[in-house]
């Protein structure tokens, strides 16, 4: 068995321990959790929004009333 510990930057007291059959399985769990995170989805939205805008010349979110670019800008945490 292999153990992996997952913690949260915003809430350091929250920690979860996963018991897996292998180290590879632990890595798969960690990657799946990262892909499910808000930040990953947000950065994916920004990337694909920009790609669609480059291809079509139109903001794909504008039709949904989401046209404020600042709402989706990635910031750097220091």
Q: Tell me the per-residue pLDDT of 28-43, one tens digit each, with 9 for 90 and over.
A: 988 888 888 888 888 8
> Given the structure tokens 């939205």, which residue do they identify?
45
Answer yes or no: are the C-beta atoms of 2 and 26 closer than 8 Å: yes
Percent of the chain scored above 70 by pLDDT?
83
What's residue 68's pLDDT? 55
The full set of domain ranges for the chain reads 1-36, 37-73
Answer yes or no: are the C-beta atoms of 4 and 17 closer than 8 Å: yes
Q: CA angle, corner 31, sides to 25 and 34, nearest 5?
A: 145
Cβ partners under 8 Å of residue 34, min gap 6: 40
């Amino acid at each position: 068995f292999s153990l992996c510990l997952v913690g949260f930057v915003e809430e350091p007291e929250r920690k979860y321990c996963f018991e897996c059959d292998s180290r590879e399985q632990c890595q798969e769990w960690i990657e799946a959790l990262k892909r499910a995170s808000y930040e990953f989805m947000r950065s994916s939205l920004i990337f694909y929004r920009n790609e669609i805008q480059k291809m079509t010349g139109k903001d794909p979110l504008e039709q949904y009333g989401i046209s404020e670019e600042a709402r989706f800008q990635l910031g750097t945490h220091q």
